[in-house]
Structure 1
Amino acid sequence: MSVKSISAKLFAKIVNAQIQKWAKNPVEAQEKVLKNLIETAKNTQFGKDHNFQQIKNAQDFLKNIPVRDYEDLKPYIDQVVEGKENILWPGKPLYFAKTSGTTSGAKYIPLTKESMPSHINGARNAILSYIAETGKADFVDGKMIFLQGSPEMKTTNGIKTGRLSGIVAHYVPSYLQKNRLPSWETNKIEDWEEKVDAIIEETLPENMTVISGIPSWVQMYFERIQEKTDKKIGEVFPNFNLFIYGGVNFEPYRNKFEELIGRKIPSIELFPASEGFFAFQDSQYEKGMLLRLNAGIFYEFIKADDFFEENPRRFTIGEVEKSINYVMIISTNAGLWGYNVGDTVMFTSLKPYRVIVSGRIKHFTSAFGEHVIAKEVEHAMQEVSIALNIQINEFTVAPQTNPQQGLPYHEWFIEFEKTPENLNTFAEQLDLAMQNQNSYYEDLIEGNILRRLVINPIPKGGFKNYMKSIGKLGGQNKLPRLSNDRKIASALEKLK
């Protein structure tokens, strides 16, 4: 055992003890965070506009701070982008994480001196929790790859601006720099397919032990290695023994990964976003990710079923329940207040508080009142593909409200590794699985409001071509599992 792995185990023990301390006192941890946020920002423009001086507790805070999304908060953010100080948080941000918006064009998410440690330490603590629980630390001696955006940044009124993953790349600790791939020059390549090819050239000769990235893009990396070497990934990298991912549910990809790798492999799930690093998988044996309650983020939760009502109830951490779909609202030490991230979560445990990401409040299918969410379609797909031993590369679902004939239906666009011989059987079982997942959908089928789902097979590479056509190939870009319109469906039909 190397000095580095011994040191990693000792450090993991220390950090794990710190994590357990706040995880066992969740309400106290959140009260402390809120108090610090209010006290620090009380003299900012936002703090003055929202009576921070008068806020004494969480209930005062909820009364004074409305729920907002980016567009609602934009008048304040625009002032920050213009270079003004003390608007949402004292001083100016260190960075802007630039992301693509839906209705507002580019989004500029502030990152401050206070918020950056959360982004940096989230992934670190996930790995240390894994070491503390399993005792496995040999992987720290090998090479680690993180598929991410370019670290190059531009300047917006004196503030460095770039992709979150590229910004965080500047903070990789010195003791990991020699282990980290790809190289700085390769990471700067903007064209994703060119970048993947360059990464393959750099990594093939190396002792890769940890690979991290969004599953769909890591899958592309694996497939190209297999094409080049005609070997399983586990043969190419015999010491590869930890996969770290975030952004999307891994389960729909798991079978394909195991086939590409040639064996099962431990994995760690992360829940990062430009707005904050919210949670990480702290156990290989418990479902869900540990919500980070001491990391400068105050959380609220609104039941997704009630979210579009005029004044839905807002729950704090001590009031939530398991297995309810909540919209997550955050207030942060980067100056986001009552901010709707857009993600929906479900709690799998309350001691400690663990969550799964169940979808996006804007990504659902409810053209007929069924309100199907990502968790439901992913669970149904996983159940049926395992039962029938069918590998799925990618899929998305959209409503067909105006078919040329017959009743409307849900249309599933699926890229199979190999199209099933009996597509009707697959469709029937998938529809039954969906009915078991969503009682509203079941009622619509039984009431002859909808007919059973229809599968539209997509040729291999079709989803990659779609993402490329809209300029979102690679990086942190993800294909929505669900739509409530035909925008993605129509684009996929044109590419066939």
Structure 2
Amino acid sequence: MGLKAALSKPFAAFVVKGINKWKKNAVAVQQDVLAGLVRDAQHTAFGRDHDFKSIRNYEDFKKRVPVRDYEDLKPYIDRVVAGEEDVMWKGKPLYFAKTSGTTSGVKYIPLSKESVPEHVKAARNALLTYIHETGNASFVNGKIIFLQGSPVLSKKNGINIGRLSGIVAHLVPAYLQKNRLPSYETNCIEDWEEKVDAIVSETIHQDMTLISGIPPWVQMYFDKLTEQSGGKKIKDIFKNFNLFVYGGVNYEPYRAKIESSIGRKVDAIETYPASEGFIAYQDSQQDKSLLLLVSAGMFYEFIPADEYYNDNPLRISLEEVELDKNYALILNTNAGLWAYSIGDTVKFVSKNPYKILVTGRIKHFISAFGEHVIGEEVEHAILSVANEEGVGITEFTVAPQVAPAAGELPYHEWFVEFSSPPLDMVDFTKKVDKALQEKNIYYFDLIEGKILQPLIVRSLQKDAFVNYMRGQGKLGGQNKVPRLSNDRKIADELRNFTI
């Protein structure tokens, strides 16, 4: 065992001891976090506008600070981007994480000197928690790769701007830098396919032990490694590869193909990092749910997903959440985001400690006929059948067809790229439809009432989603295809790739 691996175990034990303290007192910790955030921001423009000085508890906070999305907060954010100090948080941000908005164009998410260390600590603690549970620290002695966006940053009014993954590249602790690949020069390549080719060249003969990234782009990396090595499995290229760290999308649709590419099962850690904050990570190999980070400079609020678009939806703190109920996640952060609707939905599977599953996006749903089908439901429907029948799925998305051919009922149209297609597509489609009916009572009623016909699956060409993303200029990085949408923008493009 190398020195780093040996030292990491007692350090992991120390860190986990601290984590266990706040796990047991999550509600009280969250109350303290809110009080601290309000106190620290009371002299900002936002704090004055919302009378932070008079806030004594969460009920006061709700009365003074409405829930907003990026568009609603944009007047304040624009002032921060323009270089004004003390607008939403003390001073100026250290960075802006640049993301793509649907209506705003580019969005600028502030990262402060208080929030940046929380991103780093959470990523570190996810690994240390794993080491403490499993005793496996060998990966720290080998080479580690983070498949991420370019670390090249621009400046705007003295503030560094870049993609979150590119910013994070500058924050990797010194003790990991010597182990880390690819090189800075390769990481700076903007074209994703050119970049992956360069990463393959740099890593194919290295002792890679930990690989991290968004699953579809990791799969592209694996495919190119296999191609370059003459068909070898990843386990034969990287004999000591034993830990996969991922986030950004649900891993389950990709699990079978990635494990097939590797050639054996490896331990995996799911993380939930967002530009707005590092929210949760998987803290046990025995449990796929994610530990909510209640002591990370963020105060969480929750709105029941089925009430989100109501005029006066229920808005609650951690203390009031219920198990197995979908909530829209609302953040208040030590970078100055206040009652900010991040757009994700989560559900709690445990309250001791508080653990979540990410279930989708509040705006990613199909409700063209009142069914309100969500991402978790479509993923369950297709994966439960695919796993039972040994069908391999590379990627998929779903959209409503509200204007079918004359004489046909409307339907949900599924665009699926199979890595190993079903032997009987008609039977497979019927089973997926039945599984969705069982998961969503409104969809069941629409099928039974002959308002909708059963879903239709369109089989897509190999690399259809890669080619679609390339055409959109969104290949690689943090980009991903929505599982479902309430319009046909993606569907109409994907029709060009049907078999």
Deviation of 1:327 (Å): 0.1
Q: Which moved more, 1:216-225 or 1:417-426?
A: 417-426
The letter for the 2-side match of 1:426 is: F
Q: For residue 84 of structure 1, give the secondary structure of its aligned residue in structure 2.
A: coil
Equivalence for 1:419: 421
Query: Equivalents in 1 of 2:156, 2:496: separation in Å?
Result: 38
Deviation of 1:310 (Å): 0.6
Equivalence for 1:404: 405
Query: Equivalents in 2 of 1:426, 1:361: separation in Å?
Result: 28
Equivalence for 1:374: 375
Equivalence for 2:302: 301
Deviation of 1:495 (Å): 4.5
Show structure 1 runs of 5+ residues with no match. Answer: none
The letter for the 1-side match of 2:480 is: K
Equivalence for 1:31: 31
Query: Equivalents in 2 of 1:149, 1:174: separation in Å?
Result: 20
Contact 2:182/2:199 (8 A) holds in 1: yes
Deviation of 1:228 (Å): 1.5
Equivalence for 2:446: 444
Where do 4+ consecutive residues of structure 1 move more than 4 Å? none
Equivalence for 1:453: 455
Equivalence for 2:130: 130
Equivalence for 2:100: 100
Tell me the percent identity.
Answer: 60
Q: TM-score, normalised by structure 2?
A: 0.98
Query: Equivalents in 1 of 2:468, 2:497: separation in Å?
Result: 7
Contact 1:342/1:360 (8 A) holds in 2: yes
Equivalence for 1:165: 165
1:279-320 residue CA offsets vs partner (Å, 9 max, x unmatched): 000111123100000101000000000111111111100100
Contact 2:392/2:418 (8 A) holds in 1: yes
Equivalence for 1:2: 2
Query: Equivalents in 1 of 2:206, 2:4: separation in Å?
Result: 18
1:165-186 residue CA offsets vs partner (Å, 9 max, x unmatched): 1111111111111111111111
Contact 1:68/1:339 (8 A) holds in 2: yes
Equivalence for 2:395: 394
The letter for the 1-side match of 2:250 is: N
Deviation of 1:2 (Å): 1.7
Contact 2:461/2:497 (8 A) holds in 1: no
- For residues 52-201 of structure 1, what are the structure 2 equivalents within 5 Å? 52-201=52-201
Query: Equivalents in 2 of 1:319, 1:285: separation in Å?
Result: 27
Query: Equivalents in 2 of 1:286, 1:457: separation in Å?
Result: 33
Contact 1:110/1:334 (8 A) holds in 2: yes
Contact 2:365/2:484 (8 A) holds in 1: yes
Contact 1:415/1:462 (8 A) holds in 2: yes
1:360-390 residue CA offsets vs partner (Å, 9 max, x unmatched): 0011111111111111111112111111101
Query: Equivalents in 1 of 2:473, 2:191: separation in Å?
Result: 10
Q: For residue 171 of structure 1, give the secondary structure of its aligned residue in structure 2.
A: coil
Equivalence for 2:385: 384
Q: Which moved more, 1:468-477 or 1:411-420?
A: 411-420
Query: Equivalents in 1 of 2:226, 2:159: separation in Å?
Result: 42
Contact 2:253/2:383 (8 A) holds in 1: yes
Contact 1:328/1:344 (8 A) holds in 2: yes
- For residues 248-259 of structure 1, what are the structure 2 equivalents within 5 Å? 248-259=249-260
Deviation of 1:494 (Å): 3.1
Equivalence for 2:477: 475
Equivalence for 1:213: 213
Deviation of 1:111 (Å): 0.6
Deviation of 1:149 (Å): 0.6
Query: Equivalents in 2 of 1:352, 1:475: separation in Å?
Result: 32
- For residues 325-364 of structure 1, what are the structure 2 equivalents within 5 Å? 325-364=326-365
Give the counterpart of 1:464 among 426, 446, 466: 466
The letter for the 1-side match of 2:382 is: M
Query: Equivalents in 1 of 2:413, 2:180: separation in Å?
Result: 42
Q: For residue 170 of structure 1, give the secondary structure of its aligned residue in structure 2.
A: coil
- For residues 201-350 of structure 1, what are the structure 2 equivalents within 5 Å? 201-229=201-229, 230-350=231-351
Query: Equivalents in 2 of 1:178, 1:158: separation in Å?
Result: 30
The letter for the 2-side match of 1:359 is: G
Aligned length in residues: 496
Deviation of 1:118 (Å): 1.2
Query: Equivalents in 2 of 1:286, 1:349: separation in Å?
Result: 11
1:404-452 residue CA offsets vs partner (Å, 9 max, x unmatched): 1311100000001133231101101111111111111111111111111
Query: Equivalents in 2 of 1:356, 1:182: separation in Å?
Result: 31
1:464-496 residue CA offsets vs partner (Å, 9 max, x unmatched): 011111111000001100100000001111355
Query: Equivalents in 1 of 2:462, 2:204: separation in Å?
Result: 25
Contact 1:345/1:356 (8 A) holds in 2: yes
Residue 13 (str. 1) matches residue 27 (str. 2): no
The letter for the 2-side match of 1:238 is: K
Query: Equivalents in 1 of 2:48, 2:84: separation in Å?
Result: 16
Contact 2:86/2:92 (8 A) holds in 1: yes
Query: Equivalents in 1 of 2:323, 2:76: separation in Å?
Result: 35
Q: TM-score, normalised by structure 1?
A: 0.99
Contact 1:287/1:348 (8 A) holds in 2: no
Q: Which moved more, 1:331-340 or 1:410-419?
A: 410-419
The letter for the 2-side match of 1:26 is: A
Q: Please report the RMSD computed on the Cα atoms of aligned residues, expressed in angstroms.
A: 0.8
The letter for the 1-side match of 2:337 is: L
Q: For residue 398 of structure 2, give the secondary structure of its aligned residue in structure 1.
A: strand
Q: For residue 223 of structure 2, give the secondary structure of its aligned residue in structure 1.
A: helix
Query: Equivalents in 1 of 2:260, 2:135: separation in Å?
Result: 27
Q: For residue 4 of structure 2, give the secondary structure of its aligned residue in structure 1.
A: helix
Give the counterpart of 2:436 among 405, 423, 434: 434
